[in-house]
Amino acid sequence: MSSEEMLYAQGAKIWVPHAELVWESATLEESYRKGAGFLKICTESGKLKEVKLKADGSDLPPLRNPAILVGQNDLTTLSYLHEPGVLHNLRVRFCERQIIYTYCGIILVAINPYAEMPLYGPSIIRAYRGHAMGDLEPHIFALAEEAYTKLERENCNLSIIVSGESGAGKTVSAKYAMRYFAAVGGSESETQVERKVLASSPIMEAFGNAKTTRNDNSSRFGKFTKLLFRNQMGVMFLQGATMHTYLLEKSRVVYQAQGERNYHIFYQLCAARSKYPELVLDHQDKFQFLNMGGAPEIERVSDAEQFNETVQAMTVLGFSIQQIADIVKILAGILHLGNIQVSKKFNEGSEEEDSDSCDIFHNDIHLQITGDLLRVSADDLRRWLLMRKIESVNEYVLIPNSIEAAQAARDALAKHIYAKLFQYIVGVLNKSLNNGSKQCSFIGVLDIYGFETFEVNSFEQFCINYANEKLQQQFNQHVFKLEQEEYLKEGITWTMIDFYDNQPCIDLIESRLGVLDLLDEECRMPKGSDESWAGKLIGKCNKFPHFEKPRFGTTSFFIKHFSDTVEYDVNGFLEKNRDTVSKELTQVLSESNMSLAKQVMTLEEIDTLSVDSAKSSTLGGRVVISAGRKQVVPSKQHRKTVGSQFQESLASLISTLHATTPHYVRCIKPNDDKVAFKWETAKIIQQLRACGVLETVRISAAGFPSRWLYPDFYMRYQLLVYRSKLDKNDMKLSCRNIVMKWIQDEDKYRFGNTQIFFRAGQVAFLEQVRANLRKKYITIVQSVVRRFIYRRQFLRIQEVINGIQKHARGYLARERTQKMREARAGLILSKYARGWLCRRRYLRLRHSISGIQTYARGMLARNKFHAMRDHYRAVQIQRFVRGALARRAYQKRRRNIIICQAAIRRFLARRKFKRMKAEAKTISHMENKYMGLENKIISMQQRIDELNRDNSNLKHKTSEISVLKMKLELKKTLEAEFKNVKAACQDKDKLIEALNKQLEAERDEKMQLLEENGHAQEEWISQKQTWRLENEELRRQIDEIIDMAKNAEVSQRNQEDRMLAEIDNRELNEAYQRAIKDKEVIENENFMLKEELSRLTAGSFSLHGRKASNASSQNEDDVGYASAKNTLDINRPPDLLSKNYSYNDSTSLVVKLRSILEEEKQKHKVLQEQYIKLSSRHKPTEDSFRSACRLAGRGT
């Protein structure tokens, strides 16, 4: 069986292409046989397919890595190094384990999680300090530690190259790398250096980063930061830093695509406009340079807070307050410059538009503000925006600008100012970060734009992709070099590894008659245009294999880059390459009264990196400012274009990187939606191809990618050979025996000094062999162990069964006997139980029937009552409704009658009025009228006399009022005396309370008297309760009678009146008799209490007075006042009561009886309280009480 047949056996996991997922996992349904034309597979989604194969089996689908290798932290350790294996390993680590870092040889792959990760604190920095790369999980700190350790050990220059597309996290990775170097390279006395290095990041992000459609904080320039270290006693300390920038995207200052923003600093300044009222700023939507993208806000980011951080960082890095104020003025001037309106101009004396010229109003507010902020002449600025100067040998000519040319001049000036300001800020940062002392070595951190391709690609994308081509070439050469060095170190034979060389693509761009050369040549032409340059490209560059011309038109061209083929639009290439700005406008700004504006405009454009390389004594990154002498401006023929400058800067950068030991960080953007841990396979595989990760994998796979140390290989695969061929003392020989037994082809492996090198797939083959052998050996061991276990179980079961049978037979005999006993006892118990159950069932049934009957009768009675009540209520409702209808008809009829009467009376009144009006004109009428006036005068005289008499009476009553006032004063004196008496009574009450305490001490001697008093009290309370109940019953009965009397029908009213009268008379008579008896009892008790009170007030007990004992023995008819018997006649006939009084009189009689009872109760209560008080005041002693009792006995 060949190795392919063994690996592609039934159940093996493979990868197959997929339209959306790129690669999909599948399982073999049948084993592969050599020469087979297809494979039957089952995909992960459950679909059965057939994959066609070539006869030689060269296109077999890639195998999945063993489960033990899935999720490895280094992609090069995978047994099968291919695209789907790398992609699956990254997905498992990122999505399932949420690990964002993975090694790929010397590359650190960082996937942007779009979420906050707790991976960058001081504790994490301390954890990675001192550990080699590979000891801990992959991390940006591990890569930085590797570089720092190499710097300490070898004292050489190193670099960290961070690349990736926009939004992949390049800036953040570079920031954390510099944070690590600042942390481990700091000291107690030089903390200010690290602080300055970290403070440079927010400044560069504010002035060089912007929001794009792919990233909210995209770097729009390349940055190479040198962290300078010095060797002090064998320890590297951070001394300073320098910063070199490349290709700032100046066009963003004047134009942004939809959904993008300008540089952050403009929006931060607008958010903090309240701090700078002199800048006359407004909301960002009011400025032309800021409202093009339509996306002025960034989620979860406050521009005002970011501005405060930027200003604070500038203060830390040495910017003075005046410098910061001048910088914000220049930024505000750029914004106002963009709002200057260029309008149409008309010919003098006519309304015809002049298309060759334009106009700017003198009173344009933004023009004046720009001049004030930049401290330049607004008129000069307006003049050179509207005009341009063309110089000849001996003279110059002024030509007016069209609207488009004026707007282009305005935008070019804004871009020029911002680029110069950015260059100035970088220069100040470099001065602050570099203290001027000689450095020992450096670590460079390169944060540069990744490969870009958009729908419309222009000059910026061309330069960016050109830089990535150069960096990819340097990366390939370095990886190839490391791979070959590894083979030489291990002492194995090797052959040249073929890898992708992008030198032809670079030659297309930078060689003679290449893209850049033709572009510079076209820029030097007086009438050069984008279209003519495109024609030259198609004619000259068609010989290059990486160049393609478009199918239609000549406004674009194609270049086959290492990652993708990109179409470039030629529109704007020449203008952006020239980067021309009016010399007169720059001269206007150079003559500004602001010192900073003058310095900014006179900066020299130099390549700081090349200067740094040429002059070892200079630390680089310094900006040359020549404010004292006039700078000689180069002519157009000798002025370098943007493309040539970028080419030179890129060449110096590559030479610097070649002189260092590079470390690579490849940042991956997992999705375009910026969703946390969302995986888009198609996007990620495109980035892996573009950033060189798959190329690294391919180079590793072309050689010997799988490498095992001899001890590790021996421990894992020692069971593949017999023990006689193993020697622990010579593991290299043992490993050789293992490999040579199973791998016959010697080209599939190499034996190094410390490692074994395998080609791709061989480790997986050994894993499959090891798994098969383990399965075979395990099956044999399991069979022997199972026989031993089952035989031992059988013997135990046999012994247990014999014992169980013996005990079971005895148990069954005892159970049989017990069942016979229980059967006899059960018959007896069931007899009595059945009888008891029958009795209980009968009693329950009888009780249930009685209860049902009770509730049924009650329900029937209630239903009957409810029916009667409903009938009665219905009758009442009918009565009221009929009455309401009758009243309504009566009112309606009455209203109609009144209307008729009013109409008739109005008619009669009108007729009478006409008659009287006619009579008024006669003489007799006038006489009658005057006669009426005489009568009125006489009556008024009589009224006056009556008023005089009333006045005299009132005077008499006034005198009576004075008498009444005197009586009132007398009454007030009586009230004062009453209050004094009341106070005296209160004093006596206190004395009574004191005596009451003495009386309680002799409670035992007076128990009989108190018991009798208690009995009387209980009888009184019970009688009182009886009266209350009777009164309530009487009230309820009366209310019912009233309701029945009111609701009776008219036809039965006379009969019901007679019945109610009889019931009333009888009940009133009974109530009257009870009330008379209650009154007599209460009067008797009141009489006794009064006598007792009189005796106590006399100061001693009366021996011959009435006692409680003989008072209770009297006849009830003899007790009470005689007037009570004569007042009410008990034996009056009931007919007098019923006939002489109406229904209302009976109700008043009940109310009077009630009031009499309440008065008597109040009197009894008052007398009882007085008795208690007096009895407590005059407490008799034990001897006096006994003597009184003896005297009472003699008297009887």
Residues making up the binding site for ATP:
164-171
Residue 659 zone, left/alpha/beta (φ > 0; ψ -120 to 50; rest): alpha
Q: Would you state the structure tokens that stand for residue 729, as one six-digit string?
A: 């003392």
How is the beta sheet containing 556-560 ordered, strand by strand?
547-548, 556-560, 565-569
Give yes or no for a contact between 1072 and 1153, defined as CB atoms under 8 angstroms apart.
Answer: yes
Please report, in range form, the residues annotated as the binding site: 164-171
Q: How far apart are CA 381 and CA 378, in angstroms?
A: 5
Tokens 């083979």: give the residue. Answer: 487
User: How many residues are listed for the chain in this entry?
Assistant: 1196
Residue among 1104, 1115, 1102 nearest 1196 (CA): 1104
Alpha-carbon span 909 to 914, nearest angstrom: 9
CA–CA separation, 346 and 496 (whole Å): 74
Residue by residue, DSSP assigns 463-519 as: HHHHHHHHHHHHHHHHHHHHHHHHHHHHT----PPP----HHHHHHHHSTTSHHHHH
Structure tokens at 296: 């002025």
For residues 741 and 725, give the distance between their C-alpha atoms in angstroms, rounded to a whole number: 11
Burial (CB count <10 Å: 0-12, 13-18, 19+), residue 1172 = middle
Torsion, Cα 291 295 298 304, to 10 degrees, reads 20
End-to-end CA distance of the chain: 146
Beta bridge partners of 389: 398
Distance CA(139)–CA(329), nearest Å, equals: 42
- The helix/strand/coil state of 172 is helix
**CA gap 1046, 1040 in Å, rounded:** 10
71: left (phi over 0), alpha (psi -120 to 50) or beta: left
Name the pairing type of β-strands 13-18 and 22-28: antiparallel
Rounded to whole angstroms, the Cα distance separating 810 from 813 reads 5
Whether the CA torsion 585, 588, 594, 595 is positive or negative: it is positive
Q: Which tokens is 442 given?
A: 């450096």
The values of phi and psi at residue 706, to 5°, are: -90, 125
- What is the phi-psi region of residue 57: left when phi exceeds 0, alpha when psi lies from -120 to 50, beta otherwise? left
Core vs surface per residue 420-439: b (16+ CB within 10 A) or e? bbbbbbbbbbbbbbbeeeeb
Other CB atoms within 10 Å distance of the CB of residue 534:
24
The amino acid sitting at 98 is: Q
Q: What is the three-state SS of 1030-1088?
A: HHHHHHHHHHHHHHHHHHCCCCCHHHHHHHHHHHHHHHHHHHHHHHHHHHHHHHHHHHH
Query: What is d(CA 62, CA 15) in angstroms, rounded to the nearest whole number?
Result: 6
**CA-to-CA distance for 917 and 911, rounded, in angstroms?**
10
Per-residue tokens: 360? 């700017």
- Angle among Cα 555, 556, 562 to the nearest 5 degrees reads 170
